[in-house]
Structure formats: C-alpha cells, structure tokens
C-alpha cells in the first residue's frame, strides 16, 4: 500500500494546524526543509525513524500519521468509487482525501454501504414479486380472460352478417368472461392488499438463512474439506446474515452439515451415485447411512454431482425448516403448504419411508419423484411419543427410473389451489371459476 503518500498529506495537515513552519519542523526532525517539502507533497517515501522524529516534533502519535484505521476507510472509499458510474473520481487522490477529511470520508463510506443495502432490499422484494406463484398465476388468468374478451368482442364488431346463433353465443361468452375478469381483479386486489412486505418485517431471520443457503447453492466446500473447523470462517464471510437469530440458525445448519459430511463424505457419496444413480434407497443401503442423513447430503451436493435435488424439512408442527426448491414444484416461502404432501403424511407413520410421484396443480408444474421419511429427535424415552422431523426429498420424475405411476395430484397452498372437493382444504381458494 502506498502509505507514504497518505502520510505526507497528513504531516502537512498536522503541521499547518499547529502553525509550524516547514523549516522549523524540518530542523526539529533533523532533515532538510526541501526534503520535508518533498515528503509533504508525496514525492518521497518516508522511513520509520524520520516519521518518529516528525511525530515527536508535532507532538502526535506516529500511527496518526501513518496507516491504521484509515486502511479500512480507504478500501471503503475505493469500493464507493467503483460503484460511481461515469463520474470522474480522483482515485489518485483517494488517500489524501481520507487523510485530510476522515469525517467526510467516513460519512461517504457509510452512505454508500446504506445505499448498497437498500438496493439489496429492493432486489429481494422484486424477486419476491417475480417469483410469487400466486401472483404470477392470477396475472396469467387475468390476461387469458382479457384475451378471450378482446378476441370475442372484435368478432362481434367486425364480422358482417354474423348469424344470430353465433352472435348469441359470443354475447354469452363475453358475459361469462367479464364476470370472471371482475372476480379475478378483485382476487388480485385482495391478494396485493395482504401482500407480504406491507408490514415492516420484510426480512425475517428465516429469509436471511434462505438467502444465505441459496447464495451458496446449499453447498459448503470448505466444510466438506475441513469439517466443523471451517464454520467460523464461512459465517464470517456471510455478509447477508445481519440478524443475530439468522446467524444462530445458520450456525446450527452448518454444524449439522459438518456432522453429516463426516458421516457420509462427498467422495463416498459421489462413488455410490456413479454406481447406483440417484436412487435414494439403493444409495442408503450402499453407504450405510439413514435416509434423513442421505437426503441432507444429496441436497448439499453441487448439481453436477447429484443432479437437481429438492428438499423440504418440517418439524412436528408442520413448520417448514428448510426449503430447497426444484423446478416444477412450488414451495411457498410465505404461506403454509399442502397437507397432501407425503412430507406430512410420513409424520403419521413414523419410520416408514414413502415414495410417490407428485404433480401440483399449476401451469408450469412438473411431475416430481418424492421420498418422505421421518427422523426422531433425541433419544427414545419411556412413555413419551417421539418428537419427529419430516423430510421430503424431491427429484425430477424420470420415466426411465421407473416413475410409471400416475402422479398424485397435490397442491401448493390452499389459497391458490384450484382442486375441487379436496378433503384437506383449510380455506377457500381465491381462484374461483378457474381463478
């Protein structure tokens, strides 16, 4: 780091503040005035002894003149300058700026950090809008109905000599569609009124944990290599974990991760995958681990090793503890899930693994192969029913792997589920008449 340049500016600053002449300071420090002049104007590097003598003559700590706390400030300023688009930032005078106006520099770095954070929040919120299946579905429906109305209306207006039967039919269609449109628009407004983020709590600890895991693709190479010893370093590098509870959740997750990785190392699992393919029961018997451990390990491998793997974990209350998504199967971050999922049904028969091909009722849904199993928490206690955790592993359904069974229809969440006559329904859908 070219700290000498920074130091020169600070010496000059301190000297002028004290009203000391250059020649006097040079004499006190035992150097020539011209040499001091060169130092002050960043033309000469300054050695340790000279710095000490100058600091002594000025009556300040030598650290005040050299680097130190300013290093962080300077890197913050450099970051801020990097984000300035098109402006002419005097990068070559950055150290001088930090040296002469440390308060302003601090304020600028602070403002820059805050703006980066706000940008992240805005992005997180718009991601939420873009990926909210309820909203996408509602908008799609509204557009479909609008298309039908527009097309039908222009037939009515533009077709000369339209037969009365056709005319009656198209009138009926428009009436029907306009009613659906009105309902759909109302549903959309109701939904937006109650949208998440309309209250202050836009980022929960669970949100931060989800984001942390997503950013790392649920895989932590450092922990695979060095085990629990790497946890602190991984957490230190995680800037997105700002809430203490989020850090706590992340630490718990990583501790489980390290334990699992020790029990079933990546190399062992990769070998078994190469032999048996992604067939969970076969993998479990080959590697000798229980299904929940195997599920967690499969979900933590990079996609190029294990293919796309989704994992949903819940506790006995049904609360989702982990949601690793897979394409074509929606797991809402916001509302409670569908009780038809094998995840919840496995809880009713602890220990018995379930396997089912599932298909959700939305437009881009794909069939997925689901394996669900429970895991008891803590040791078994006499006369105490076990506390359970439910696991549901999701793989793309693959006809070649024997997924010939008809997919069981399941939902995402009742509010957006179009399935009629479902005994598991807990609240009416907002998608009446196809909405």
Partner 1 sequence: MGKQVLLIEDEPNIIEAISFILSRDGWTVRTHSTGRDTMDVVRARAPDLIILDVMLPGRSGFDILADIRADPAVGATPVLMLTARGQRKDREMAEKAGASRYMTKPFSNAEVLAVVRDLAGE
CB of 17 to partner 1, least distance (A): 58
**For residues 178 and 216, which CB has a smaller minimum distance to partner 1 in the complex?**
178
| Minimum CB–partner distance for residue 173 and partner 1 (Å) | 5
Q: Which stretch binds partner 1 (CB under 8 A): 83-91, 150-158, 201-209, 232-240?
A: 150-158
CA angle 132, 198, 414 (to 5 degrees): 45
Residue 121 near partner 1 by CB under 8 A: no
- Does the footprint of partner 1 cover residue 148 (CB under 8 A)? yes
**Total interface residues for partner 1 by CB under 8 A:** 26
Residue closer to partner 1 by CB (options 158, 384) is: 158
Residue 136 beta carbon to partner 1: minimum distance, rounded to whole angstroms: 8
CB of 326 to partner 1, least distance (A): 15
Among 159, 167, 245, 432, binds partner 1 (CB under 8 A): 159
Distance in angstroms (rounded) separating the CA atoms of residues 332 and 207: 12
Q: Which is nearer to partner 1, 205 or 325 (CB)?
A: 325
Q: Is 363 in the site for partner 1 (CB under 8 A)?
A: yes
Nearer to partner 1, 144 or 268 (CB): 144
By CB under 8 A, which span of 38-46, 103-111, 158-166, 348-356 interacts with partner 1? 158-166
Q: Does the protein bind partner 1 through residue 195 (CB under 8 A)?
A: no
In the list 49, 150, 179, 190, the residue contacting partner 1 (rule: CB under 8 A) is 150
If the CB atoms of residues 173 and 204 are measured against partner 1, the closer one turns out to be 173
* 170 lines the binding site for partner 1 (CB under 8 A): yes
For partner 1, what does the binding mask look like between residues 18 and 57, x meaning CB under 8 A?
----------------------------------------
Least distance in Å: CB of 167 to partner 1? Answer: 11
Residue 151 makes contact with partner 1 by CB under 8 A: yes
Q: How many CB atoms lie within 10 A of CB 396?
A: 19
Find the shortest distance in angstroms from Cβ 190 to partner 1. 20
Options 87, 90, 92, 158; binder of partner 1; rule CB under 8 A: 158
Find the shortest distance in angstroms from Cβ 186 to partner 1. Answer: 19
Using CB under 8 A, list all residues that contact partner 1: 136, 139-140, 143-152, 154-155, 158-159, 166, 169-170, 173, 176-177, 363-364, 366
């Amino acid at each position: 780091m070219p700290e000498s340049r920074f130091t020169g500016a600070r010496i000059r600053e301190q000297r002028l503040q004290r009203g000391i002449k250059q020649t006097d300071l040079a004499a006190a420090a035992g150097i020539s005035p011209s040499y001091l002049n060169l130092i002050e104007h960043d033309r000469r590097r300054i050695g340790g002894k000279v710095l000490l003598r100058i600091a002594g003559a000025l009556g300040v700590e030598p650290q005040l003149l050299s680097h130190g706390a300013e290093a962080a400030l300077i890197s913050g300023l450099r970051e801020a300058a990097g984000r300035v688009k098109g402006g002419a930032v005097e990068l070559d005078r950055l150290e001088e700026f930090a040296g002469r106006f440390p308060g302003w520099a601090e304020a600028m770095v602070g403002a820059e950090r805050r703006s980066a954070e706000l940008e992240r929040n805005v992005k997180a919120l718009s991601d939420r809008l873009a990926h909210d299946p309820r909203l996408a579905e509602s908008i799609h429906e509204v557009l479909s109905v609008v298309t039908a109305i527009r097309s039908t209306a222009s037939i009515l207006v533009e077709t000369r000599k339209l037969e009365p039967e056709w005319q009656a039919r198209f009138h009926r269609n428009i009436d029907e569609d306009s009613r659906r449109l009105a309902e759909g628009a109302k549903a959309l407004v109701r939904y937006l009124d109650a949208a998440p983020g309309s209250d202050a709590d836009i980022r929960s600890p669970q949100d931060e944990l989800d984001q942390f895991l997503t950013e790392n693709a649920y895989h932590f190479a450092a922990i695979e290599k060095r085990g629990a010893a790497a946890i602190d370093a991984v957490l230190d590098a995680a800037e997105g974990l700002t809430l203490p509870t989020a850090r706590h959740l992340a630490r718990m997750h990583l501790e489980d991760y390290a334990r699992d990785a020790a029990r079933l190392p990546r190399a062992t699992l990769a070998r078994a995958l190469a032999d048996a393919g992604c067939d969970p029961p076969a993998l479990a018997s080959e590697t000798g681990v229980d299904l929940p451990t195997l599920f967690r390990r499969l979900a933590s491998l990079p996609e190029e090793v294990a293919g796309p793997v989704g994992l949903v974990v819940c506790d006995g209350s049904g609360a989702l503890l982990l949601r690793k998504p897979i394409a074509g199967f929606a797991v809402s971050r916001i509302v409670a899930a569908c009780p038809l999922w094998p995840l919840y049904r496995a809880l009713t028969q602890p220990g018995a693994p379930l396997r089912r091909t599932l298909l959700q009722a939305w437009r881009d849904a794909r069939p997925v192969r689901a394996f669900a199993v429970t895991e008891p928490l803590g040791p078994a206690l006499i006369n105490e029913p076990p506390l359970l955790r439910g696991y549901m592993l999701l793989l793309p359904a693959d006809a070649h792997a024997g997924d010939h069974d008809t997919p069981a229809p399941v939902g995402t969440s009742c509010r957006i589920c179009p399935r009629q006559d479902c005994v598991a329904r807990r609240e009416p859908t907002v998608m009446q008449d196809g909405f």
